[in-house]
């Protein structure tokens, strides 16, 4: 099982690094900027996870293979970016969903292996899955995907919860990994295909209804200029928080 986790981790680093490279190219960054975004996306979440769990040194310091995977991904992307860019609109969201699923399960697994509880494991899975993308988007001056209405962090939480539940029950080890990954992929890919999203809360400002004074209506009828005492104050607007229903459209 340890070998499977390790290779899945490297696969997730490759996928997330590729998404960082594509975003760097869209933001017109140089090769160094591409490398920074790729590294932040690929190992940023795992680094924060290890720091919070008290693991010293972090995983990519003890095993530089992760860094080499990122460097090779950036070099290959630069050479064949023309073909990668064509596939980015379709393939990249799917690959990102796989990376989210892999990183979430690995983060939860590492927390449980260190003896932490289920709540901490779910949070570490969420952090491992979404923190790298948040750092990537912040450096590229974009609103992080996890802060939007898309079903992203919700899928990660559901998958991590499923993994923690299965981890505490004596079932096959491969099923413990495969089923939570399928949960995350099912939620995330369904959200991508049908454009599903969670409801959002917005601060809506609507004008209040104005009640006309009798003195003002009389002065208007006679085309007379109202006095200062007859001038009605402008209606004040009312602001309240409302829940906006999400849109559901098929591609």
pLDDT single digits (tens) 151-199: 899 999 999 999 999 998 878 888 999 999 999 999 999 998 898 888 7
First vs last C-alpha separation in the chain: 38
Query: What does the pLDDT read at residue 13?
Result: 95
Tokens found for residue 69: 């995977």
Confidence label for 212 from pLDDT (cuts 50, 70 and 90)? very low
In degrees and rounded to multiples of 5, residue 55 shows phi and psi of: -90, 120
Q: What does the pLDDT read at residue 187? A: 96
Looking at per-residue pLDDT, the higher value among 70 and 200 belongs to: 70
- pLDDT value at residue 190: 93
Give percent helix, percent strand, percent coil of the chain, each to the nearest 5: 65, 5, 25
Give the start-to-end residue ranges of the domains of the chain. Answer: 2-194, 206-244
Q: H or E element: which one contains 184? A: helix 173-194
Q: What is the mean pLDDT of residues 221-236?
A: 53
Q: Which two tokens stand for residue 9?
A: 């981790």
User: Which pTM was predicted?
Assistant: 0.81
For residues 197 and 237, the model is more confident at 197
pLDDT at 211: 44
Q: Which residue has tokens 């919700």?
A: 154
- Better pLDDT: 234 or 101: 101
The pLDDT confidence band at residue 144, using thresholds 50, 70 and 90, is confident
Beta carbons within 8 Å of 170's beta carbon, 6+ residues apart: none
Peptide bond into 57 cis (omega under 30): yes
CB contact at 8 A, 115 and 151: no
Task: Please name which of 20, 22, 65 lies closest in space to residue 41, comparing C-alpha atoms.
Answer: 20
The helix or strand, by DSSP H or E, that contains position 129, with its residue range, turns out to be: helix 118-139
Please write the tens of the pLDDT for every residue from 30-44.
999 999 999 999 999
Structure-block tokens of residue 131 = 């923190």
Is 214 exposed, middle or buried, given 0-12, 13-18 or 19+ CB atoms closer than 10 A?
exposed
- In this prediction, residues 83-102 reach a mean pLDDT of 80
Residue 145 pLDDT class (50, 70, 90 cuts): confident
Q: Do residues 107 and 64 touch, judged by C-beta distance below 8 A? A: no
Letter string b/e over residues 171-187, b meaning 16 or more CB atoms within 10 A of that residue's CB: eeeeebbebbbebbbeb
CA-wise closest residue to 101 among 178, 168, 156, 26: 156
């Amino acid at each position: 099982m340890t070998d499977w986790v390790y290779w899945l981790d490297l696969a997730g680093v490759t996928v997330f690094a590729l998404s960082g490279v594509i975003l760097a190219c869209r933001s017109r960054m140089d090769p160094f900027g591409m490398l920074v975004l790729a590294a932040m996306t690929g190992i940023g979440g795992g680094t924060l996870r290890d720091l919070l769990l008290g693991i010293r040194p972090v995983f990519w310091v003890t095993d530089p293979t992760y860094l080499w995977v990122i460097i090779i991904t950036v070099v290959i992307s630069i050479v064949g970016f023309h073909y990668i860019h064509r596939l980015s609109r379709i393939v990249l969201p799917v690959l990102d969903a796989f990376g989210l699923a892999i990183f979430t399960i690995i983060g939860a697994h590492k927390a449980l292996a260190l003896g932490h509880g289920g709540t901490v494991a779910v949070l570490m899975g969420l952090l491992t899955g979404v923190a790298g993308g948040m750092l990537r988007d912040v450096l590229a001056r974009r609103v992080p995907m996890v802060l939007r209405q898309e079903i992203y962090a919700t899928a990660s939480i559901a998958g991590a919860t499923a993994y923690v539940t299965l981890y505490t029950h004596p079932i096959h080890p491969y099923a413990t990994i495969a089923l939570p990954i399928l949960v995350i992929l099912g939620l995330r890919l369904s959200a991508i295909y049908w454009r599903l999203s969670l409801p959002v809360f917005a601060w809506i400002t609507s004008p209040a209804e104005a009640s006309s004074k009798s003195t003002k209506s009389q002065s208007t009828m006679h085309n007379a200029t109202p006095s200062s005492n007859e001038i009605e104050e402008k209606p004040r607007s009312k602001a309240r928080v409302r829940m906006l229903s999400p849109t559901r459209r098929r591609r």
